[in-house]
Structure 1
Amino acid sequence: MAFKNVAVEPKTGKKIFTQEEVYQATLNYFKGDDLAARVWINKYALKDSFGNIYEKSPDDMHKRLAKEIARIEKKYENPMNEAQIYELLKEFKHIVPQGGPMTGIGNDYQIASLSNCFVVGNEGNSDSYGGIMKIDQEQVQLMKRRGGVGHDLSHIRPKGSPVKNSALTSTGIVPFMERYSNSTREVAQDGRRGALMLSVSIKHPDSEQFIDAKMEQGKVTGANVSVKIHDDFMQSIESGTPYLQQYPIEAEKPVFEKETNASKIWNKIVHNAWKSAEPGILFWDTITRESVPDCYADMGYKTVSTNPCGEIPLCPYDSCRLLAINLYSYVENPFTPEAKFNFDKFKEHVAYAQRMMDDIIDLELEKIDAIIGKIDADPEDDDIKQTERKLWEKIQTKAREGRRTGVGITAEGDMLAALGLRYGVEDATDFSEEIHKTLAVEAYRSSVNLAKERGSFTIYDTEREKNNPMINRIREQDEALYKDMTKHGRRNIALLTIAPTGTTSLMTQTTSGIEPVFMPVYKRRRKVNPNDKDVRVDFIDEVGDSWEEYIVFHHKFVTWMKAKGHRTDKQYSQDELDKLVAQSPYYKATSNDVDWLSKVRMQGRIQKWVDHSISVTINLPSDVEEELVGKLYFEAWKSGCKGVTVYRDGSRAGVLVSNKKEEKKKDDKSSFPTKRPDELEADVVRFQNNKEKWVAFIGLVGDLPYEIFTGLQDDEDGILLPRSVTKGKIIKGHDEEGNSRYDFQYENKRGYKTTIEGLSYKFNPVFWNYAKLISGILRHGMPIHKVVDTVTSLQLDNETINSWKAGVARALKKYIPNGTVAEGTVCGECGSSNVIYQEGCLTCPDCGSSKCG
């Protein structure tokens, strides 16, 4: 039961705050920033499973974190005290633990890991069904504890390989991509779905199918995918020579080899990334060559994949926790001629940040003990619990043995602007490189000092690391530090990363991670009642709802305005806003303005001082040619980047809708015929209803859904349809008795037409009646997002995620025009009401979160 009418939780005696109390206190804390307030309340405020809130504002959270970190500090020499730690954390000014640490430290209401990310894998690269299912279960077990997961598929036999079971040949990689993706979609994480990265080596014979897997509508929607590109592949493209794929990919005597055209595969990667922003690229030889943990590859630290955003390459069963240092906070006299970066204070705080990260590892080990204790206490049979328990034992071993940390930064864009430097130009990149060089040296110095006080990570070996490029750069920068490290060791096997800091940056009120400002000024909308007094209506949507538009300034742009004497309390015209931006250091320095090649080169230079990797996106306008993506990838490889992702404006939608659909601004019911045509173009969408596989045939008029048929797929009494069929026609005719009949016709690979007769006969009678209802309201032109709402409100017996109505709703969401406002919906990540549909998913432009299905 929920304790709605009490002010104190009975068992612990802790005070419970009302939602309104917390909102008002947090809104005041963030000086009126509603978005930051809602983000903190929804994601980070201490809550129990009943929704009771035990922290009134972020200040309470920072005290909670400081208390717990100080408790760990007391175990060691020269401890930091609680007041020191609180000063570093308060107001999100200097040091910001990210995600899991901020939510989980000192949280006794949930048993969850503090780690932001994990990688799993099979010892010996087993690709048996048992091994593949074990990975599936491990992935789910980690996601239910709030972690993002990555794993590699290169160990799975290519399609057509002989196997010793009833199938006789392997199905290859793609079906297992779907399995892992579906598992991710089904795991709830406090209102979010899990996050998954799937990777495969370009050497694998099925890599081309992997690259294409997400291009089919509705496929692998629960995973990010990245291709591990090797140097010899890039060299084959440059030289125009054939490329040899093989399985196993690292075998000296492979059982299967295949010569392929590297340029053809490369062009496919470039095209798909241009069209859909995936696959991402991982320059795998650069990753492993630079990796410090790979000096211990034979001891279990061989890097195999990355976390979902790509910034932490990991070995199997290792994990990482993240922390960001707010770079803007070290700029004195920002946006003035006297602006300067306080390097002394920065160095001091980097040392503290690394120390706190090491403390958080101890806190994580305590959490893992609690998770294992929970598993042991569960009433399930031991054989059911065995996989989960062994999983956490392996993670515990890696965390204790390697003590990996993830110290990073946020506010790079604001830092540069505050110093009068324009993001992307040479002098700004020079300064950024100096910042990250300083960060690397001081973090390593702190880890060496920790080794003196607390001992090195248990397998540290100077000899193993002597030829590592990252270690040698540290040595060249500070010979005395290197000698100290060879004598005392280092506390942590790897230390640094640059992660995306989306919600973190909303609370620091700065630019995110290493990225430039998205826009210094932008518009938002809020729904209004036009009958209210003094309300202003700027926009009326297609269903008649009224909206007020208002200007939002990036926080540090306001700081610049104040520094330059510009008023912040007046209504500016668009022309005035444009002139303001043109005077500021943010001019020509937004994510869409920055020169793309310069940004890639900047990433490469900074990457040399980051021992893990960097999560960064190259934003491109919608009208760029595909060739540019290829040039950016090549530049990234040559510049020493470990990975790169491009996003062409609007490209996500390109996978799921045609160009005509993109051009359609709203549902155009006037184009619907009053009489059903004899033939309709149709899309095929597959989904799952519990454990049954279903297929939907969606008849289209003017690229909008007009009717829907659904039935069981590949069942004895169902619809036999090849997986490759995604389009066809629905033909209305009559049977021998003169009754109406709807047939589906498609062309097979040889160009012959095949007809599936009597779609209506394939229905469960109950679902048939619901489908008639849905088709009726579609034909009368109800906006599609309203049709989806109707479908999801149907009262059916089965309410699981894979129910028939959920599958139909997901199918129809693909046709919601991009930008359609989701009225009455609030973002589950940040609380914003500015939620729209994008490629069929509910997307929040304010924090970037996306919810599909």
Structure 2
Amino acid sequence: MSTELAQDPLKTYTQEEAFKATLKYFKNDDLAARVWLNKYALKDSQGNIYELTPNDMHQRIAKAIASVEAKYANSLSEEDIFNLIKDFKYIVPQGSPMAGIGNPFQIASLSNCFVIGNDGHSDSYGGIMKIDQEQVQLMKRRGGVGHDLSHIRPKGSAVKNSALTSTGLVPFMERYSNSTREVAQDGRRGALMLSVSINHPDSEDFINAKLEQGKVTGANVSVRIDDGFMKAVKSGTDYTQKYPIFSRAPKVTKTIDANTLWKKIVHNAWKSAEPGILFWDTIINESVPDCYADLGYKTVSTNPCGEIPLCPYDSCRLLAINLFSYVNNPFTDKASFNFKLFKKHIAFAQRIMDDIIDLELIKIDNIIKKIDADPEQEELKATERNLWVKIQHKAKEGRRTGVGITAEGDMLAALGIQYGSAKGNAFSLEVHKTIALEAYRASVNLAKERGAFSIFDAAREKNNPFIQRLKETDSKLYYDMLEHGRRNIALLTIAPTGTTSLMTQTTSGIEPVFMPVYKRRRKVNPNDKEVHVDFVDEVGDSWEEYVVFHHRFKQWMEVNGIDSSKNFSQSEIDELIQKSPYYKATSNDVDWLSKVSMQGAIQKWVDHSISVTINLPNDVTEDLVGDLYLKAWEVGCKGVTVYRDGSRSGVLISNDYKKEEKAKNLLTTFPKKRPQILEADVVRFQNNKEKWIAFIGLIDHKPYEIFTGLADDEDGILIPRWVNKGLIIKNRNEDGTSRYDFQYKNTRGYKTTIEGLSHKFNPEFWNYAKLFSSTLRHGMPIDKIVDLINSLQLDSESINTWKNGVVRALKRYVANGTKAKGQVCGNCKSENLIYQEGCLTCKDCGSSKCG
């Protein structure tokens, strides 16, 4: 029996109707409303919207899950399930389950996470291409994918083809990365994790691959580190790499100084937040599924965020329990945690997760039927079909689940407990221990009602450390499991819960609050009307910035009688934060070693893994990063990632206005010698109905030089519309003169070069451009350069039109709020003009001029 919604004509809503209703539902939280509407509201392929608010979605999900429950004893009703999931209050199916359950318009998996692989032995081109195709097929069905590269032979190894020697890991990293960036599902870019063992002779190349600008931008990368390497780091001894890895009869061996490679890992993580580290021996030794390794459950890699280590062709669905909702009387001196209700809901969460596996099996069956019905040749469909048959088998046999949490930081704040304190760590440990015991108890009870997963064997698991902890803590649970088995091979995780936490309006996953008050960046299409682009990241995506209060901080204000609608100054905000339970409890405030210890303690009660990031201020040393990594290994973490503020562009940024204002008044200091290669922005605009283009060379995101003129097909300057980033490279002509080339990557990752920017435009423009570039290079503030250019009295109409184009291009880089001197508002004649989003805005009447 199908569990999908009947495909009868359903009521549809306009985008405006749905957004208005959803905005009201989320109490005017614009971001939450847009995320839900864009990612999770029921839509058909024509964009018709069938759900007005998230509770329509919750009704859809409850109906589908109830249809599965009806097949089993002690079934939950549709109303029971709806009351558990409505309003994102208690139990929240994450991502793919939220979008896909009960969705008749989408032939997609309900799994969030997949791992694929070559069973550790095939590194032929055919095997490598098969993985490429498999990852694309999964991503088009909305899945995040991980796979390991340790089976690929190292660079320089002999191969039996015309190449004679292997190219090593890095070219294949780029291939998989480029494939990921090409795949999108409903605007959602694919997500990929690439891993490699530190024992692989090319692991250093893997670690360094992302340092080169623009390389491997479509993948997260993590290194699988074994205990032997960590012991060599601690003792300062050598370490032997091998291919095949850990082989007793390797084809390639390489002895290295462990500390040299360790420092490289630490430096790169400090510099760019990657690679992440997977403590592989801890993962394998603690893994319950690896008790069945010989039956196909040997863990080989993780999903893109690292919280689900998986064997090849296994997958997992995710669900989060909203911890904040179990705090009674939050932010008062009567606050308490409702453990009784919490335990009851953990059992329901595990039950719902098991129901979702049944729904997933139906989804996969539909995918296979769709593949069979496609008119393509059978040989073209074979890889995709075989892939889904393997995934279906693993889901049916192991019935893996991913019960997790969100709102850890808000839960502690609501209880008046400081995140990262000894008391906070102890309370969090008790919460996660409770989840482990009650989820496993629920899985045993499900085995009584529905049967155990088909290969359950208590004898295989008896020495597993996680199972032993359950036995020591709750012997009755353990002996019940021996008698009845368990419904699911593995149960628990802690995922990042990015968009989930936007809709629960809480802190994300296990993390503390990032900042109680912050700026947020929202990705935008720079070609849309009325879009303000404040920031363009290193891969060319455009973002808008705005200031928001964290929802639960706002709730704390209201509980304490503070009017949250007031327009606070920065000093008033700072004072409020100091009075709140979030003070000294943000991502940058918590004691980092304490957080690592907390993660290690909680990891003992999570049978998969934990996705967690240690946020560090910009000025921390590389040695501290190394100490944190070492500590993480010592306390039993399965993985760890660090993010040093400013080391990578992100969505949330500091709200320190004083620093910004100070920076505005300082001259920019550039290198005395022009670097050979500069990052560059491409800016398009119109003047007098003519299309113009500017190439702006940047150093530290600040303009250093400019080339601009007409975008003319005949001159070869009309590059694709989607290109808004690239490189300006200074080269030499055969006669020794300089030229400036522009280089960008196409959608396949191949480089395209436009030679001689300085000769593509009118020579008259180029002479003035050299003058303007010179003032940029000497650090003159952008607004002053704009004033200078505007003041020039030039002879011809064409050069004046070009001058206006230069001004329009450079205005984008003037800091918001900069006062424009010597100019008058054309509407009210006021001199109170400021730059805002590259436009001159009158603070008195609000009129804006962007020309």
TM category, shorter = 0.7 to 0.9
Find 1:188's aligned residue among 178, 184, 190: 184
Q: What amino acid is the match of 2:732?
A: I
- Structure 1 segment 767-786 matched on structure 2, within 5 A: none
1:683 aligns with 2:684: no
Q: Distance in 1 between matches of 2:456 and 2:67?
A: 27
CA drift of 1:700 comes to 7.6
1:716 matched residue in structure 2: none
Q: Distance in 2 between matches of 1:188 and 1:16?
A: 25
Contact 2:696 2:704 in 1 (8 A): no
1:287 aligns with 2:246: no
2:213 matched residue in structure 1: 217
- Structure 1 segment 195-594 matched on structure 2, within 5 A: 195-522=191-518, 552-594=548-590
CA change 1:167–1:616 in 2 (3 A) is same
Contact 1:730 1:743 in 2 (8 A): yes
Contact 1:277 1:645 in 2 (8 A): yes
CA drift of 1:565 comes to 2.5
- Structure 1 segment 635-650 matched on structure 2, within 5 A: 635-650=631-646
Q: Distance in 1 between matches of 2:585 and 2:764?
A: 51
**Secondary structure, counterpart of 1:200 in structure 2:** strand
Q: Distance in 2 between matches of 1:771 and 1:372?
A: 59
Contact 2:6 2:104 in 1 (8 A): no
Q: Distance in 2 between matches of 1:743 and 1:25?
A: 52
**Secondary structure, counterpart of 1:499 in structure 2:** coil
Q: Distance in 2 between matches of 1:493 and 1:184?
A: 30
CA drift of 1:572 comes to 2.7
**Secondary structure, counterpart of 1:651 in structure 2:** coil
1:153 matched residue in structure 2: 149
Q: Distance in 1 between matches of 2:545 and 2:131?
A: 48
CA drift of 1:477 comes to 1.1
1:25 aligns with 2:21: yes
CA change 1:467–1:407 in 2 (3 A) is same
CA drift of 1:223 comes to 0.4
- Structure 1 segment 629-640 matched on structure 2, within 5 A: 629-640=625-636
Q: Distance in 2 between matches of 1:728 and 1:491?
A: 60
Contact 1:733 1:741 in 2 (8 A): no
1:71 aligns with 2:53: no
CA change 1:820–1:410 in 2 (3 A) is farther
1:244-287 residue CA offsets vs partner (Å, 9 max, x unmatched): 10010032211111111100000000000000000000000000
CA change 1:148–1:820 in 2 (3 A) is farther
Q: Distance in 2 between matches of 1:207 and 1:102?
A: 38
Contact 1:105 1:363 in 2 (8 A): yes
Deviates more, 1:122-131 or 1:486-495: 122-131
CA RMSD of aligned residues (A): 3.9
Q: Distance in 2 between matches of 1:525 and 1:489?
A: 48
Q: What amino acid is the match of 1:33?
A: D
Contact 1:65 1:102 in 2 (8 A): yes
CA drift of 1:729 comes to 4.5
Q: Distance in 2 between matches of 1:321 and 1:413?
A: 24
Unaligned runs of 5+ in 2: 523-532, 537-542, 651-659, 681-694, 709-726, 742-751, 783-808, 818-835, 839-851
CA change 1:104–1:732 in 2 (3 A) is same
1:801-841 residue CA offsets vs partner (Å, 9 max, x unmatched): xxxxxxxxxxxx9xx989999xxxxxxxxxxxxx999xxxx
Q: Distance in 2 between matches of 1:21 and 1:473?
A: 52
Q: Distance in 2 between matches of 1:582 and 1:762?
A: 53
CA change 1:667–1:326 in 2 (3 A) is same
CA change 1:491–1:548 in 2 (3 A) is closer
1:35 aligns with 2:36: no
1:730 matched residue in structure 2: 731
CA change 1:35–1:780 in 2 (3 A) is farther
1:634-690 residue CA offsets vs partner (Å, 9 max, x unmatched): 110011100000000111269xxxxxxx99979999999xxxx9x96422899xxxx
Contact 2:588 2:616 in 1 (8 A): yes
**Secondary structure, counterpart of 2:371 in structure 1:** helix
**Secondary structure, counterpart of 1:244 in structure 2:** strand
CA change 1:397–1:525 in 2 (3 A) is closer
Contact 1:45 1:103 in 2 (8 A): yes
CA drift of 1:458 comes to 0.6
Contact 1:618 1:645 in 2 (8 A): yes
**Secondary structure, counterpart of 2:620 in structure 1:** coil
**Secondary structure, counterpart of 1:24 in structure 2:** helix
CA drift of 1:511 comes to 0.7
TM-score (norm 2): 0.78
CA change 1:319–1:667 in 2 (3 A) is farther
1:623 aligns with 2:645: no
Q: Distance in 2 between matches of 1:540 and 1:292?
A: 47
CA change 1:552–1:49 in 2 (3 A) is same
Contact 1:218 1:685 in 2 (8 A): no
2:789 matched residue in structure 1: none
**Secondary structure, counterpart of 1:443 in structure 2:** helix
CA change 1:366–1:771 in 2 (3 A) is farther
**Secondary structure, counterpart of 2:240 in structure 1:** strand
CA change 1:763–1:322 in 2 (3 A) is closer
Q: Distance in 1 between matches of 2:159 and 2:590?
A: 51
Q: What amino acid is the match of 2:11?
A: K
Unaligned runs of 5+ in 1: 1-8, 527-538, 655-661, 687-696, 709-725, 745-760, 787-812, 822-834, 838-853
CA drift of 1:780 comes to 8.5
Q: Distance in 1 between matches of 2:521 and 2:447?
A: 53
Give identity over the alignment, percent: 67
Contact 1:591 1:619 in 2 (8 A): yes
**Secondary structure, counterpart of 2:254 in structure 1:** strand
1:689 matched residue in structure 2: none
2:704 matched residue in structure 1: 704
CA drift of 1:334 comes to 1.0
Q: Distance in 1 between matches of 2:50 and 2:565?
A: 36
Q: Distance in 2 between matches of 1:774 and 1:196?
A: 45
Contact 1:680 1:731 in 2 (8 A): no
Contact 2:679 2:698 in 1 (8 A): no
Q: Distance in 2 between matches of 1:66 and 1:10?
A: 15
CA change 1:550–1:194 in 2 (3 A) is closer
2:592 matched residue in structure 1: 596
Q: Distance in 1 between matches of 2:499 and 2:484?
A: 38
CA change 1:456–1:42 in 2 (3 A) is same
Q: Distance in 1 between matches of 2:327 and 2:267?
A: 42
1:757 matched residue in structure 2: none
CA drift of 1:567 comes to 2.6
Q: What amino acid is the match of 1:730?
A: N
- Structure 1 segment 666-677 matched on structure 2, within 5 A: none
Contact 2:405 2:494 in 1 (8 A): yes
Contact 1:732 1:743 in 2 (8 A): no
Q: What amino acid is the match of 2:60?
A: R
